[in-house]
Structure 1
Amino acid sequence: MLDRLWARLFGRRESFDDERVRRAFVDGLTGLPNRHVMGERLREARAAGVTGVAAMIDVDHFKQINDRHGHATGDEVLQAVADRLRAEFGSPAWAARVGGDEFFVLLPGVDMAEARRRIVRCAELLRAPIVCGQHAVENLTMSVGLATFPAPTNDELLKAVDVAMYAAKARGRDGAVVFDDDTRKIVTARRELASIIVELQERNRALRDDARTDALTGLRNRLALDEVLDVVVDGSDPRFAAAAVAFIDIDHFGDYNHLHGDAAGDEALRRVAAAVRGCSRDADLVFRKGGEELVVVLAGAGHEESRVAAERLRACVQALAIDHAGSKTASVMTVTVGVASGGAGGTLRALMIAASDEAMRAKVDHARNRVHAASI
């Protein structure tokens, strides 16, 4: 039966011809038993009454090897590590690849002192240069977690060696740590600290977002607007290879407040802001500049596109049909929109100023509830 499940999961070195079965049992890169086989062999060893020491080995700074030399070199390093583990931990000991740069070793019939000696010897093997094409990786080190075998379950054993391995990393790497209660406390404390740091970072992000959000409308506020105004069109930010800015002013808003009261004015402003945001594209940035003035940065928009977008925003507000008996322009609330587009090298600030000038000029010229465009 499948060569007795490949000689009980690599108990002997016979090969098996069925490549599909081989892939199910063997790590494709290193040729070591994979995680599934590791679990089976641990269960069998525990059932047979085997005692000894288990080790989890992590190659130190492996990501730097990948980043510096490339993944092909990284793969060759892992293959060399696997070969050296085989050389040191031959039968009855055995090694498996857990995943990534982590390896598991079981040393049957040894005590912890002997296990530590063998780990030290293996570490010396690992320091020998590994030649990978034109690269040579030297002085490779490993962090090792050790625990007594057996444990009540595979999961408990793997947690123990994993905790001890991370304790070894916390102590500066290139060493071995035996799992015990002190180790558990150290790693737990570090993980709790890491969790606290993540929580503080999330709170800081939330505070930063709150500081840049207008409390009334939920739009980005003046502080957030100021942070983008110096962006250069077709500069380093790919979002603004082209851009335009729409400046929106609510017509006769002061008269609306006088007639209906500040609470009604706030509600009208919220509705206008929601309409403008809803009629903008996902890529556009919508701000409340202050009072009844809104600004929309139209990412990627050229001159004609910006005119179309500005008209859409104007029409969306008028479609709200908010009664405005105090308006001299229409029976409902309307907006006047100035929009400016420009070529590479100009800033969003320059576009906003040009758009604002267009809107203000329209108010003076009694040309409200329209779009007024400029190109600079």
Structure 2
Amino acid sequence: MSICPQLLAASITYVLMDVGLACVALAIGFFGAMAYFRHAMKASNAAGFQEVEAQNHALALTTQRNDMAAQQIRDLTRNVAADVSSHNAAVGGFSAQLADAAKAGDSSAAQNAIETMLSANRKLQQRLEEAERKIEAQAHELKTQESEARTDALTKLANRRAFDAAMERSIGDYSLHKRPFSVLIFDVDHFKKFNDTHGHQAGDEVLRAVGRTLGKTVKATDLPCRYGGEEFALIMPGTKMEHARIAAERVRTAIESMDVDFEGKRLKVTSSIGLAEIGAGEDATRLIRRADDAVYAAKNAGRNCGFWHDGVEPQPITAPTRANVPKASDETVEAAPSAPTPAAPAEGKVAAQSADAAIPDRTVFMDELRRRVAESQRFHVALSVMHLQVKHFDRLVAKFGEPVGKLLLDSVATFVKSTLRDMDLIARYNDKEFIVMLPGSTENEARQVGRRLRTVIGNCSIPLGGSSVKLDLHLGVAHVQPDDDAAGLMERARRLMEASAELDVSNLVAVES
């Protein structure tokens, strides 16, 4: 019977080792899951203001699934703890039985006690293995959720949250190791009109096609993302501007060459690309803003082209010898001609320019303003809009005629453009009013710009044969608010301009003979 205590000691030792290791594994799994859960919640909260409204529901579902997974792990841990406690109590009972059997010299009772204890050990081992499998399944579920939380559901590209995280890492690498990188942002041209013409399902199919094309065109080390809406982005680690420009043109031509078949139609789209390379002391907001400015320059140059930002102003990636930009209203758009035709302006440019002042029209302005409002709300960047009207314009037209009115408006547009920064945008609101977008300008700064405009225009005389005219402006300035959209911001500026006109009772237009 001397073997019984030895068997007992060995059995108890192995049981305690198994239980201890299992509990350590469970603890690691539990706290690892909790750490991920808290990280995922923080990431959701940090990115919540930056995500578009369409992703809010997906974030809520992800949070709910994280809650459920965490609760399941907590329940599993409590169950395992209860199993271990019950097993410890049973082992204590078996030990007492063995001790009694040893004193009585009853080998049969001792053998039964050992077998019962080993059976209990096997059951506990099975329970621990089952718990380990469940923890692995929960870990896989959490990993899947993390992947889904960083993937755009429509295009299967990385989403804005993944883009922000990659930007942070890339800037960190540049700060610590001086490893360069470039950022490319592009819009699908005339996408709103495309949706209005062909429907949102066709628009979704185009976005999927753009996502697939972008994924196939870039390097394996690059990160293609859907930035939001019809806007895409590409982070190119280790890529300087010399090679980034080549990549940008490759992306543009790949999108231009796409054929999207939808309900018997062969649809085509183009893109306007902006490119910027990280600079010394630059943060993500500044870098993205420079790329955005380059996108605007591409749009203003007629679309279906690319611009890169040299740190001062946007520069064209290639000479403007592009094939015509397809109209969004075309029912079926055939492939653009392979040979460029530099003598003919791009169709998109004709559509995007006002006939009299060669400046963007209201549609182009609204497209850009929507993007700037979204940027302002994501990064808390100042943004103001100014609405301009020539004082007593109708009276001047009645006196001098419509050709003179056109000349006056062209002159005003020229004066305004000469006063604005490169990143600012002036457009025609209607046949006698202008709108100006001032990115990065507070309301007070925008008012200063307005006063400067009035001074410049007031100091210039416009010759009209034997006479000349001096002009003045009615101005309305509105600054973006947290709940603003582009249309609301522009409308507030217009109403403020009208209020300014109603309050101005003095005749500030001088007509000299």
TM-score by length of 2: 0.38
Amino acid at match of 1:336: S
Aligned 8 A contact 2:187 2:272 in 1? yes
Are residue 279 (structure 1) and residue 217 (structure 2) matched? yes
Which SS does the other structure have where 2:173 is aligned? coil
Q: Aligned pair in 2 of structure 1 residues 294, 168: CA closer, same or farther (>3 Å)?
A: closer
2:300 is matched with which residue?
364
Deviation at 1:232, TM superposition (A): 5.0
Aligned 8 A contact 1:247 1:296 in 2? yes
Gaps of 5+ in 2: 25-90, 92-113, 312-513
Q: Aligned partners of 1:110, 1:282: CA distance in 2, in Å?
A: 68
Q: Aligned partners of 1:271, 1:191: CA distance in 2, in Å?
A: 46
1:248 is matched with which residue?
186
Q: Aligned pair in 2 of structure 1 residues 299, 273: CA closer, same or farther (>3 Å)?
A: same
Deviation at 1:239, TM superposition (A): 10
Deviation at 1:250, TM superposition (A): 0.8
How big is each residue's C-alpha offset from its partner over 1:244-285, in whole Å with a ceiling of 9 and x where there is no partner? 100011111122222212111111111011101111111111
Deviation at 1:358, TM superposition (A): 0.5
1:57 is matched with which residue?
none
Q: Aligned partners of 2:175, 2:216: CA distance in 1, in Å?
A: 24
Which SS does the other structure have where 2:212 is aligned? helix
Aligned 8 A contact 2:170 2:181 in 1? no
Aligned 8 A contact 2:298 2:307 in 1? yes
Q: Aligned pair in 2 of structure 1 residues 232, 217: CA closer, same or farther (>3 Å)?
A: closer
- Superposition misfits of 4+ residues, deviation over 4 angstroms: 168-172, 236-240
Are residue 224 (structure 1) and residue 76 (structure 2) matched? no
Q: Aligned partners of 1:244, 1:185: CA distance in 2, in Å?
A: 58
Which SS does the other structure have where 2:121 is aligned? helix
Aligned 8 A contact 1:245 1:348 in 2? no
Deviation at 1:313, TM superposition (A): 0.8
Are residue 113 (structure 1) and residue 5 (structure 2) matched? yes
Structure having the larger proportion of residues in strand: 1
Aligned 8 A contact 1:249 1:337 in 2? yes
Which SS does the other structure have where 1:241 is aligned? coil
Q: Aligned partners of 1:169, 1:351: CA distance in 2, in Å?
A: 50
Q: Aligned partners of 1:227, 1:171: CA distance in 2, in Å?
A: 34
Task: Please give the residue correspondences for 1:221-370 in structure 2 after superposition, counting only pairs within 5 Å.
Answer: 221-231=159-169, 233=171, 235=173, 241-322=179-260, 332-343=268-279, 345-366=281-302, 368-370=303-305
1:166 aligned residue (18, 26, 37): 18
Q: Aligned pair in 2 of structure 1 residues 169, 293: CA closer, same or farther (>3 Å)?
A: closer
1:201 aligned residue (139, 144, 153): 139
Q: Aligned pair in 2 of structure 1 residues 239, 273: CA closer, same or farther (>3 Å)?
A: farther
Are residue 374 (structure 1) and residue 309 (structure 2) matched? yes
Task: Please give the residue correspondences for 1:41-56 in structure 2 after superposition, counting only pairs within 5 Å.
Answer: none
Which SS does the other structure have where 2:171 is aligned? coil
Deviation at 1:114, TM superposition (A): 3.8
Q: Aligned pair in 2 of structure 1 residues 221, 234: CA closer, same or farther (>3 Å)?
A: closer
Aligned 8 A contact 1:244 1:348 in 2? no
Aligned 8 A contact 1:240 1:300 in 2? no
Aligned 8 A contact 1:164 1:184 in 2? no
How big is each residue's C-alpha offset from its partner over 1:143-195, in whole Å with a ceiling of 9 and x where there is no partner? 953xxxxxxxxxxxxxxxxx7752464589xxxx9870111122221221122
Deviation at 1:116, TM superposition (A): 6.2
Q: Aligned pair in 2 of structure 1 residues 232, 297: CA closer, same or farther (>3 Å)?
A: closer
Identity %: 29
Gaps of 5+ in 1: 1-108, 121-142, 146-162, 325-330
Which SS does the other structure have where 1:229 is aligned? helix
Q: Aligned partners of 2:23, 2:201: CA distance in 1, in Å?
A: 61
Q: Aligned pair in 2 of structure 1 residues 313, 369: CA closer, same or farther (>3 Å)?
A: same
Q: Aligned partners of 2:147, 2:180: CA distance in 1, in Å?
A: 26
Aligned 8 A contact 1:244 1:351 in 2? no
TM-score by length of 1: 0.51
Deviation at 1:209, TM superposition (A): 2.0
Q: Pick 1 or 2: higher relative contact order, CA cutoff 8 A, min separation 6.
A: 1
Task: Please give the residue correspondences for 1:28-39 in structure 2 after superposition, counting only pairs within 5 Å.
Answer: none
Amino acid at match of 1:111: I
How big is each residue's C-alpha offset from its partner over 1:101-123, in whole Å with a ceiling of 9 and x where there is no partner? xxxxxxxx972424567x79xxx
Aligned 8 A contact 1:342 1:375 in 2? no
Aligned 8 A contact 2:205 2:260 in 1? no
Q: Aligned pair in 2 of structure 1 residues 238, 285: CA closer, same or farther (>3 Å)?
A: farther
Amino acid at match of 1:362: A
Q: Aligned partners of 1:239, 1:284: CA distance in 2, in Å?
A: 18
Q: Aligned partners of 2:127, 2:174: CA distance in 1, in Å?
A: 42
Deviation at 1:345, TM superposition (A): 4.4
Structure having the larger proportion of residues in helix: 2
Aligned 8 A contact 1:249 1:293 in 2? yes
Deviation at 1:293, TM superposition (A): 0.4
RMSD, matched Cα: 3.5
Amino acid at match of 1:243: F
Amino acid at match of 1:357: D
Amino acid at match of 1:258: D
